[in-house]
Structure 1
Amino acid sequence: MAILLPATSALLPQNKLNHVLICPIVPNTPARKNIIQKVIGNSDIRMHRVLTKAKTSLEAEVRAKDSVTAEPVDEENDFGVVNLHHVGILCENLERSLDFYQNLLGLKINEARPHDKLPYRGAWLWVGSEMIHLMELPNPDPFTGRPEHGGRDRHTCIAIRDVSKLKAILDKAGIPYTLSRSGRPAIFTRDPDTNALEFTQVD
């Protein structure tokens, strides 16, 4: 990874830029200091050095990408949103839903989450680093009259790597689905309780 230093006259003396330097982002080590000293030692090169630490967390990467257009953070009222922890999905029959989510879609149960401390049956399923919480409770949504395309309904979206592979799995199981109306790689289907699910392909 490298930083292309900005060619902005305000950053440089005499409003003159002789070279643009590509500076690797490396830890503050003697080796890096040696490289910088050699570069600065050439008086023909005027350089504005920008040093930063690589950001490894997803949150930091997202903030960096959106920093140009993001609204200023209200420090007083910022309560520290990190990410989406889980989505609760109602089901009429837990075993039937687990057959769909666990056996068909391949989601794994999070055994560390409590199943017996709640006044209803349920299961926690891993979706990447977040979860779906299946809850065996009466579903208030009607089974009929729902839009054919799940994207026009309340839905949960899961990012996946290959829509075509999921399409083949749904075809083999005889489960109906619709594709994204915009043409992007995404597929919409419903679970046994008609809860709408979107699967969108990401790089």
Structure 2
Amino acid sequence: MAAAASIVCSSFKSPSLQSNEVNHVGLAISQPTIPSKKNLRWFGRKDNKEMSISVRTKAMVSNEGDLLVKESPTSLDAIEDIGVVGVHHVGLLCENLERSLDFYQNVLGLEINEARPHDKLPYRGAWLWVGSEMIHLMELPNPDPLTGRPEHGGRDRHACIAIRDVSKLKALLDKAGIPYTLSRSGRPAIFTRDPDANALEFTQVDF
């Protein structure tokens, strides 16, 4: 059942000791709760020989007086049970599907996954292969503004694509006149944006 618990910290000074010396300290804690002003009370005596702090808080206490700690509903076993194996795809919004496909296909060289259905959704779109995963382009109104976004895509929401050679992508972006920024940490990575200002990171990895 629920009961009120107290945290009391007290110090007692012997009359034979100096005013700043303490020969006994008592501390009892029932729950690690940060007190608020309304449940914090100070008690003291004018002669400064006794002072205590009392904090009233709520705790779950069993009939035997033991504190019961409620377990988190999310445990490691529960996470493992759902069987996470990887990222299947990333969904990106675009204003004009053809304009976006020109960027993703003709600049980045991504291929469309023709096996994914297009006619079962109430909006236009395309699935593009990114290794064994995909990008799903969706022609829908984009709630994100085109201006006022961070120049460096790493400071914005972004999708990261692993590539073999950052220098080759850099040359392609330069040729297409597409702006980009390099990783601020010095690692081989480039950040750029698609025609709808969706931020993309390309990081160089060894396969």
TM range (shorter): 0.5 to 0.7
2:150 aligned with 1:154: no
Structure 1 gap ranges (5+) = 1-71
Structure of larger gyration radius: 2
Q: Which residue of structure 2 lines up, in the alignment, with residue 111 of structure 1?
A: 114
Q: 1:176 to 1:74 in 2, by over 3 A?
A: same
Tell me the number of residue pairs that the alignment of Structure 1 and Structure 2 aligns. 132
Assess, with a 3 A threshold, how the Cα gap between structure 1 residues 76 and 197 changes in structure 2: closer, same or farther.
closer
Give, as a single letter, the amino acid of the residue that structure 1 aligns with 2:119.
Answer: D
Gaps of 5+ in 2: 1-74
- Give the C-alpha shift of residue 83 in structure 1: 0.5
- 1:120 — aligned with what? 123
Percent identical across equivalent pairs? 89
CA shift at 1:77, angstroms? 6.1
Higher percent of residues as strand: 2
TM-score normalised by L of structure 2: 0.62
CA shift, 1:78, in A, is 2.0
Match of 1:91 among 81, 90, 94: 94
Structure 2 partner of 1:175: 178
Separation (CA, whole Å) in 2 of partners of 1:105 and 1:74: 40
The structural deviation recorded for 1:122 is 0.1
Structure in which a larger fraction of residues adopt helix: 1
Determine whether 1:166 maps to 2:172: no
- From 184, 188, 191, give the equivalent of 2:191: 188
CA distances 1:43-64 after superposition (whole Å, capped 9, x unpaired): xxxxxxxxxxxxxxxxxxxxxx
Q: Any idea what SS the aligned residue of 1:74 has?
A: helix
Amino acid of the structure 1 residue aligned with 2:99? R
